[in-house]
Structures are given as C-alpha cells and as structure tokens.
C-alpha cells in the first residue's frame, strides 16, 4: 500500500495547527506540493515591510525555512518532525511587489538528514530576490 500524497490543503492545515502564531501571521500559503518540491506564497503587507515597502529579511528567511520544512513532508509523504541544523540565505535584491513566491526543492534526503534549497521571487515582477539552503535533521 502506498502512502497517499499530501496536498496543499493538508499542508496548509498542518501549518495552521502546528506552527507558532507569529509564523502563521506571515500569511504563508502552500500552493503546490510534490515529492520533490513545494511552492508557497506570502503577501507583501505593511506588517512585513521595512522602509520603501521592501519585505524584511526576517520574513523572507522564515518563509524559506517554513516552505523547506513543508517540502520535506512532501518528500516523505507524511509529516515527520524535522529540525533545522543549518540555514544559509543570500539576499539578491529588494523584495518589492504584491506577493513573494518560494519554491523549495529537495536536493537529497535520507533517513536522518534532508538537504533542501529554496528560491524566493517577487511577484508580479518575477525577479529572484533571495535564495536559501538548509539541512534538516529528520527525527
């Protein structure tokens, strides 16, 4: 018997029920999930912006980490507790626009570690604004 694939709705429910309130306040929504990648989006709101309407780096890093965690669930086909053991983020240009879209790809995953990378893009311009890489311990 195969494990049923996770859906964006199931990941959004998991996010709403299990993540810290301040992470939920970011308004992250999972829009696509497969066994190799997950896509999310986050509105660019006044609460997340700094001077000039630019999304704060802290919000971008939280979005990337959250989306990469969700990508590990998509990879395993179920929710496994994971802990971020390493996180690296490069900011490439100011994040301005209506939405930020994050795609997290599984680079490699095993029984105890998962290596994931993410790309964050501002919409509607389509400009890449940041990229991140993380290693997760899989419990």
* Ranges of each domain in the chain: 8-138
Question: Looking up tokens 């709101």, which residue turns up?
Answer: 45
Calpha distance 22→19 (Å, rounded)? 8
Where b means 16+ CB within 10 Å and e means fewer, 103-112 reads bbbbeebeee
Residue 1's pLDDT is what? 36
What digits encode the pLDDT tens for the residues 40-70? 999 999 999 888 889 999 999 999 999 999 9
CATH class, 8-138 region = alpha beta
What pTM did the predictor assign?
Answer: 0.94
Nearest Cα neighbor of 68 from 119, 21, 17 is: 119
Calpha distance 80→90 (Å, rounded)? 27
**For the chain, which ranges sit under pLDDT 50?**
1-3
């Amino acid at each position: 018997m195969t494990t049923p694939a996770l859906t964006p709705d199931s990941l959004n429910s998991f996010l709403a029920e299990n993540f810290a309130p301040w992470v939920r306040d970011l308004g992250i929504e999972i829009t696509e999930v497969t066994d190799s990648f997950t896509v999310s989006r986050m509105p660019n709101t006044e609460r997340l912006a700094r001077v000039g309407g630019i999304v704060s780096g802290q919000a971008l890093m939280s979005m990337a980490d959250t989306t990469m965690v969700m990508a590990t669930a998509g990879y395993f086909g179920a929710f496994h507790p994971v802990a971020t053991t390493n996180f690296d983020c490069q900011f490439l240009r100011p994040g301005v626009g209506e939405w930020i879209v994050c795609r997290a790809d599984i680079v490699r995953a095993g029984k105890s570690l998962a290596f994931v990378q993410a790309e964050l893009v501002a919409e509607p311009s389509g400009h890449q604004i940041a990229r991140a890489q993380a290693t997760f311990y899989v419990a």
